[in-house]
Amino acid sequence: NAGVTQTPKFRVLKTGQSMTLLCAQDMNHEYMYWYRQDPGMGLRLIHYSVGEGTTAKGEVPDGYNVSRLKKQNFLLGLESAAPSQTSVYFCASSYWQNNEQFFGPGTRLTVL
Amino acid sequence: KNQVEQSPQSLIILEGKNCTLQCNYTVSPFSNLRWYKQDTGRGPVSLTIMTFSENTKSNGRYTATLDADTKQSSLHITASQLSDSASYICVVSGNAGNNRKLIWGLGTSLAVNP
């Protein structure tokens, strides 16, 4: 099993550009999450999903959108990238809402 | 305010030595406490999950303790190895263990030198 995978691993954007980060899990987990990790701050939840076709806002959702059309995939979109969105983005999944979370390897995004 | 504080911020030890990392929290109500290991450039990996009724839990050379009365936890690493060099993050859940309500600490950066 690959676990949780993320693409791309690295990306550089110019302010105003858009992009989509893809997360895929092969563990048949119901819950999926998108986090960002910034220096001097703990991981912060952006959006999450409690099942196929559902999405919900986390702690820092502004400037991001998500979709969960298939159970195994969770997409994070940036419609108009800003320098404040420069960060490392992690996707995670869990079988249920209070179970252990499994994390992907991360996507390092730089917005110039 | 719900907070998780870890100490020390960073630590350097020699291979083969033991070390203990600390975590203090003010999250209330408390449901569970987790320790994660994060290697540089990688995602966090779960080491232990402890509920309020568990005082200690081990995972190989890693042993976590929890005192829910004083709201303190520690992670003890025995016979350290070079591969233990990583950031160790304490995470507390304050809402029925819900993953949507996790409070993440900033981590302790551990370097194990030969």
Taking the Cβ of residue A45 and every Cβ of chain B, the question of whether any pair is shorter than 8 Å is answered with yes
Q: What's the rounded Cα separation, in Å, for the pair A84 and A93?
A: 25
| Shortest CA distance from B88: residue in chain A | A42
- Cis peptide upstream of residue B44 (ω within 30 degrees of 0): no
Residue B33: per-residue pLDDT: 94
In this model, does residue B100 exceed pLDDT 80? no
Nearest-CA distance B114 → chain A (Å): 27
Q: Look at residues B98, B2, B32 and name the one whose alpha carbon lies nearest to residue A56.
A: B98
Percent above pLDDT 70 for chain B:
95
CB contact under 8 A, A99 and B43: no
Nearest-CA distance B32 → chain A (Å): 9
Please write the tens of the pLDDT for every residue from A10-69: 999 999 999 999 999 999 999 999 999 999 888 999 999 999 999 999 999 999 999 999
Please write the tens of the pLDDT for every residue from A72-85: 999 999 999 999 99
Q: What's the rounded Cα separation, in Å, for the pair B80 and B61?
A: 8
Nearest-CA distance B38 → chain A (Å): 10
Taking the Cβ of residue A41 and every Cβ of chain B, the question of whether any pair is shorter than 8 Å is answered with yes
Please write the tens of the pLDDT for every residue from A46-60: 999 999 999 999 999
What are the angstrom distances between the C-alpha of B53 and each of B50, B66, B68? 8, 9, 8
DSSP states of chain A: ---EEEE-SEEEE-TT--EEEEEEESS--SEEEEEEE-TTS--EEEEEESSTT--EE-SS-TT-EEE-SSTTEEEEEESS--GGG-EEEEEEEESSTTSPPEE---EEEEE-
Q: What's the rounded Cα separation, in Å, for the pair A91 and A40?
A: 20
In this model, does residue B97 exceed pLDDT 60? no
Taking the Cβ of residue A48 and every Cβ of chain B, the question of whether any pair is shorter than 8 Å is answered with yes
In this model, does residue B45 exceed pLDDT 60? yes
Dihedral, CA of residue A23, residue A29, residue A33 and residue A35, to nearest 10: -70
In this model, does residue B42 exceed pLDDT 80? yes
In this model, does residue A98 exceed pLDDT 90? no
In this model, does residue B62 exceed pLDDT 80? yes
Percent above pLDDT 90 for chain B:
79
